[in-house]
Amino acid sequence: MKIILATQKPFSPYATDRVKEIAKAEHELTVFENYKEQSELVQAVHDADAIIVRSDLVTAEVINNAPKLKIAVRAGAGYDNIDLEACTARNIVVMNTPGQNSNAVAELAVGLMIYMVRNSFTPGVGSELKNKKLGIHAYGNVGKLIATLGKGFGMEVYGFDPFVNSEVFARDGLTAVKSAQELYSLCDIVSINMPALPATVKSVNKSLLEQLKNNAILVNTARREVIDEEDLLNIMQRSRIKYATDVKPLCHEKLTDFGNRYFSTPKKMGAETEEANINAAIAAINQIVDYFKTGNQTYRVN
């Protein structure tokens, strides 16, 4: 089968070599990385039986131009970049590789927290994570790891996830709260960890943001779309909250007016570690090899 590793943001050379090695016994692998235009991706997939992508946009146009495509694997967690409907209509299997890059994202989230409590490392008096109340908004793989790291820093950790019951939080040493509103009003730092889905897009809006304490810190390593940017700008004007993110907002320029109260990484880099690259890339190629060999669809999302 012809497999294309198509990623605008290349994996580390070692991770890419491992993918080639695993594929080569039974398949032909092409590495297509660092492309600049979406039209290049559309062209690159024309003879692909399988593709591995990261945040690359697998649109209906990409799918339509890949008549042989049977499986698309998102080497990562969020698959909002893939047109699931277009894939399903063609009976193309879509998978993700859940958990493989979570630790890298969780560490980055805590790094952003430290950066914010230390006033972006500008000279002067900052504060510590210890004894602060940390709110985990959505308790998936990343949320769980951030909670563990937060406890390691001596934080009091609270959790809210509409799909997770209080026993699970209690078992993991978190205090469950009854609503997102309660989480936002109680905590000094809130970490957003949910995927971008129709139900979550713009769900972090006025109703939650206005609950935040005056000097609370909001950390978003999830998706740009889950926060209502207009409401965020409003609350930034009306209070002293800080916003740190790994998913650059569309209103980035306006937010830079808030100085040290706002920080965005230059490019999404939560999963940009050697370890996460290796884990996610190897999981993706193994899932494809296994799918062609045995039909295993364990991580199918459509």
Q: Which is nearer to ligand 3PG, 146 or 271 (by Cβ)? A: 271
Whether the Cβ atoms of residue 235 and residue 208 lie closer than 8 Å to each other: no
Parallel/antiparallel/unpaired status of strands 28-33 and 2-7: parallel
CB of 104 to ligand 3PG, least distance (A): 8
Say how far apart CA 122 and CA 160 lie, in whole Å.
33
Contact string 233-272 vs ligand 3PG (x = CB under 6 A) = -----------------------------------x-xx-
**Interface region with ligand 3PG, contact rule CB under 6 A, candidates 35-43, 76-84, 113-121, 235-243:** 76-84
Looking at the Cβ atoms of 71 and 108, the one nearer to ligand 3PG is 108
Give the residue with the Cβ less far from ligand 3PG, 76 or 159.
76
Q: Between 3 and 155, name the residue whose CB sits nearer to ligand 3PG.
A: 3
Residue spans of alpha helices (H) in 153-250 = 166-171, 180-186, 206-209, 229-238
Q: Is 16 in the site for ligand 3PG (CB under 6 A)?
A: no
Amino acid at 50: A
Binding flags for ligand 3PG, 85-124, as an x/- string (CB under 6 A): ----------------x-----------------------
CB 95 within 8 A of CB 74: yes
Closest approach, Cβ 224 to ligand 3PG, in A, equals 11
Contact 278, 22 (CB under 8 A): no
CB contact set of 119 (below 8 Å; sequence gap of 6+): 126, 260
Q: Is 244 exposed, middle or buried (0-12, 13-18, 19+ CB in 10 A)?
A: buried
Contact residue for ligand 3PG among 10, 12, 78, 126 (CB under 6 A): 78
Closest-approach residue to ligand 3PG (CB): 76
Q: For ligand 3PG, which residue of 15, 16, 19, 54 counts as binding (CB under 6 A)?
A: 54
How far is C-alpha 99 from the chain's CA centre? 11
Say which amino acid occupies 128: E
Summarize as ranges the residues that interact with ligand 3PG (CB under 6 A): 9, 54-55, 76-78, 101, 268, 270-271
